[in-house]
Amino acid sequence: MLQSSFITIDPAFLSPVLARVVDPYHQIIINTHVRRFRQTYVEYFQDPKTQALADYFFQEIYTLEGKEERDKLAVKTYQRFKGMLTAKSRERIEKLLYLNEITDSLDFTMAQIIRKEPKFIVHADGLDFVDFKKLASLYRKANPSKERVNQLELVLVNLESFFDLSKHPLAPVIIRPVSLAARAVGALRLFRIFEQGYNATKPISKEVFFDFTAHVRQNEILFLEKIYKKRIKIP
């Protein structure tokens, strides 16, 4: 179990969830999220300045292909090197791992329901996804509001962490040695995932990023409020 003053992550809990991510019903849930994101944040996908940012945070990190191996490697690599990290770095990584854990868990619960109740599923544009008219019902049936709110809080925190890291004056200096270290321990593919997020965030100005995160915060809070029919507050 990964423990710190920040969060607790149990790899034993992670494994059963990650082992199932190849489930086609889990893929349908991912298709649904990505389709909603592409409609809700269409301007960010279409704007050349923010296209890479939107592609990464709303689509690429949801890719299930190779995710099981990638996630296990992330936990293994963190356990190996966490003693060499600063407290702030550990906190950032643990929050990212925790976001990954609870997102998989919440989505897998949804997948279990649509497997038993295919009435939720529709087909369009060559993909299966959850009928948007029934999406609120699925959320309420599968996920407690508290857990989805917690997930959104972590999404916003991790967005800010990526931005802060991309603007750190020493970031360009340490990228290469980190890449070499990742290659040496067999974690280069994992490093490339993080590097892609760094490269997507680096060109974004502070003003554009704050506008982006404010838009995400507002839209996702409204989305959850409509689903759970109650007021939601996020610090």
**What pLDDT score does 4 carry?**
39
Q: Does the residue 76 lie in any domain?
A: yes
Which range of residues forms the domain containing residue 96?
Answer: 2-228
216, burial (CB in 10 Å: exposed 0-12, middle 13-18, buried 19+): buried
**What pLDDT score does 3 carry?**
39
**What pLDDT score does 180 carry?**
65
- Which tops the pLDDT comparison, 194 or 128? 128
Q: Does the residue 233 lie in any domain?
A: no
Lowest mean pLDDT among 53-62, 87-96, 157-166: 87-96
pTM beyond 0.75: the answer is: yes
**Residue 9 near residue 74 (C-beta atoms within 8 A):** no
Q: Does residue 7 have a pLDDT over 50?
A: no
* CA-to-CA separations, 5 to 9, 88, 95, 161, in angstroms, rounded: 12, 11, 12, 18
Q: Does residue 144 have a pLDDT over 80?
A: yes
Q: Does the residue 63 lie in any domain?
A: yes
Q: Does the residue 115 lie in any domain?
A: yes
Q: Does the residue 143 lie in any domain?
A: yes
**What pLDDT score does 145 carry?**
97
- Which tops the pLDDT comparison, 35 or 235? 35
Q: Does the residue 97 lie in any domain?
A: yes
* CA-to-CA separations, 88 to 68, 73, 79, 165, in angstroms, rounded: 26, 21, 16, 11
3-state secondary structure of 28: helix
3-state secondary structure of 128: strand
